[in-house]
Amino acid sequence: DGWFWLIPLPYNRTSIGVVGELDYLLQNRRDADGKLDTQKIFNEELMKCAPLKQRLEGAKQLFPIQTTKDFSYRASRIAGNNWVLVGDAFGLLGSPVLPAA
């Protein structure tokens, strides 16, 4: 239903996030006022992933949870005279958002 990223950063820090369909991630997770607790959503998803939960034991969260709906992109052209876009240069679907180090 979703997946986590785990990317090592400088200074013994790691960017960790969860990606999934909005219908899944937000399903039945609004409070009585219609607000979302994104920290709670992250924690609930983390509890479902035993290997990551175990790996994060003793870790300290340094920043508040940040969210974005869609950060995918696709170039309007894939190739031209003497050039071609490949891999992430052409398009990206589902990439982590990294905090400033």
Residue 76 lies in a domain: yes
Query: Where is pLDDT greater, at 32 or 99?
Result: 32
Residue 100 lies in a domain: no
* CA-angle at 100, arms to 20 and 16, nearest 5°: 30
Spell out the alpha helix ranges (H) of 2-64.
22-25, 38-47, 50-55
What value does the mean pLDDT take over residues 31-43?
89
Residue 101 has pLDDT above 50, yes or no: no
Residue 74 lies in a domain: yes
Query: Where is pLDDT greater, at 80 or 72?
Result: 80
- Structural domain including 78 reads 2-92
Listing DSSP states for 18-33 in one string gives: EEE-HHHHTTT-B-TT
Residue 42 lies in a domain: yes
What value does the mean pLDDT take over residues 52-67?
94
Residue 101 lies in a domain: no
CA 27 to chain centre: 18
Domain count, the chain: 1
Comparing CA positions, the residue from 44, 69, 46 lying closest to residue 57 is 46
Task: Extract the tokens encoding 54.
Answer: 């175990």
Residue 34 has pLDDT above 50, yes or no: yes
Confidence grade of residue 14 (pLDDT, cut at 50, 70, 90): very high
Residue 31 has pLDDT above 90, yes or no: no
**Which amino acid appears at position 79 of this protein?**
A
What value does the mean pLDDT take over residues 12-26?
89
